[in-house]
Amino acid sequence: MAHDVLIAGPASWNRIVLLDRLPDPVPHTTVAAGSWETVGGTSAGKAIGLTALGRDVLLSVQLGADAEGDRVRSLLDAVGVRLLVASTTATEQHLNLMTSRGERVSIYLAHPSEQAEDPPRDRRIGELMAESSVVVLDLSAESRRLARTAVAAGCPIWTDLHDYDGRAEFHRPFLEAADVVFMNADGTSDPVDLLGRCLRHGASFAVCTLGAEGAIALDRSGRTHRVAAVPVPVVDTNGAGDAFLSGVLDAHLSGAELPEALAAGAEHAASVLASRHLHPALDALV
């Protein structure tokens, strides 16, 4: 089962509600500017993006035997993402309250049960990881459990810590396993300092996305690299960070140096901002 990238992490079925502003925490009625349903999840976004860029991707994911799981499977299959599915009680589901400025409140409607250890399956995942050019470990209880398996497989590990604040214990196994670290700036007022602290765990470079301000990266030699966001009319911000990582990873696998890879990530993120789905590849399917 040849593949370029193995991604371990969540896929979900999302209900998106677009509001003029996020609701105040008091009883009231408001009118949505729009709403739609679509596949979600940080790992699904990366898998779709990398597949659209021509990479062969295997996504290890938990899905339930429910209508939402069937929808996720169908859409990922339609865009060419191959799946390694662990059955669970329910497919992850979110209600995302969004504004046009990218503000979001994400409400979990359902989440998978914690996966018990399954030695034969875990060994098989380890073998598949060892055959990968890169393993991406996304934040989830299942991926956290597989961190040691990924390290033992011996291939490069990329991780996305999202709104890591430099202290959260849940993120530590991902950080300690990673050769490359991504995050956003939601949890820090000093991204350069946080990137530097992440590098002390052994990563070769670390990247922090800054929304409309682009992204900043720090490499092991201490050099700072910045990339501007590509201007584009924004339809929906869900998945932009995942698309950015996908573009950087694709360029990295093609031999690009870090500044060129960051520019590729910015271009790919812009294509997603112009879609109300995780990637324009889904526009004709949902």
In a domain, 235, yes or no: yes
Residue span of the structural domain in which 228 resides: 5-22+34-282
- pLDDT for 118: 78
Q: Mean pLDDT for the chain?
A: 95
In a domain, 278, yes or no: yes
Kindly report the CATH number assigned to the domain that includes residue 152.
3.40.1190.20
DSSP secondary-structure letter at 169?
G
In a domain, 222, yes or no: yes
Q: Find out whether 129 and 6 touch, Cβ atoms under 8 Å.
A: yes
Q: What pLDDT band is residue 2 in, cutting at 50, 70 and 90?
A: low
- pLDDT for 232: 92
The token duo for 10 is 């969540």
Helix (H) or strand (E) holding 268: helix 258-273
Q: Tens digit of pLDDT for each residue in 79-117?
A: 999 999 998 999 999 999 999 888 899 999 999 987 777
Q: Tens digit of pLDDT for each residue in 121-157?
A: 889 999 999 999 999 999 999 999 999 999 999 999 9
Q: Tens digit of pLDDT for each residue in 231-242?
A: 999 888 989 999
- pLDDT for 120: 86
- pLDDT for 199: 96
In a domain, 29, yes or no: no
In a domain, 28, yes or no: no
In a domain, 188, yes or no: yes
Percent of all residues in the chain with a pLDDT value above 90, rounded to a whole number: 90
Q: How far apart are CA 207 and CA 179, in angstroms?
A: 12
In a domain, 228, yes or no: yes
- Provide mean pLDDT across the span 229-256: 95
The total number of structural domains that make up the chain: 1
In a domain, 27, yes or no: no
Helix (H) or strand (E) holding 54: none
Give yes or no for residue 1 having a pLDDT over 70. no
Q: Tens digit of pLDDT for each residue in 27-73?
A: 999 999 999 999 999 999 999 999 999 999 999 999 999 999 999 99
- pLDDT for 247: 98
**Tally of residues, the chain:** 286
